[in-house]
Amino acid sequence: MAEKKGESYNNLIDICIEFELDPNLGGNSGDMFKKLLADYFFKNECAVSKQMEQFFENFEAPDFLNEMNNLLDIEISKLAEYVNGETINDSLAGKIMLSKVYLKNFYPGQNPSFGALPEDIKFELVDKIKEKNSTIIAAFEKMKKDREADKNRKIITLISLIIKNLYIKTGRPLNKLHEPAEKIIREIFPNADEKFLANQKQLADINDDTKIKELIKTFFMIKQYKDIEEIGELYKKELDRYKRRALRF
Q: Give the separation between CA 207 and CA 248, rounded to whole angstroms.
A: 19
Q: Spell out the long-range contacts of 43-49 with Cβ–Cβ below 8 A and sequence spacing 24 or more.
A: 43/1, 43/2, 44/1, 44/2, 45/2, 45/102, 45/105, 45/106, 48/105, 48/106, 49/101, 49/105
What pLDDT, in 10s, does the model give residues 44-79?
999 999 999 999 999 999 999 988 889 999 999 999
Percent of the chain whose pLDDT exceeds 70: 96
pLDDT surpasses 80 at 1: no
Query: Does residue 6 register a pLDDT over 50?
Result: no
Question: Mean pLDDT, the chain, as a whole number?
Answer: 93
Q: Which pLDDT score is estimated for 11? A: 86
Distance CA 152, CA 134 (A): 28
- 91-141 pLDDT, tens digit per residue, is 999 999 999 999 999 999 899 999 999 999 999 999 999 999 999 999 999
Rounded Cα distance between 56 and 106, Å, is: 16
**109-119 confidence digits (pLDDT tens):** 899 999 999 99
Percentage of the residues of the chain whose pLDDT score is greater than 90: 90
Quote the pLDDT of residue 9.
62
For residue range 204-213, list pLDDT tens digits in order.
999 999 999 9
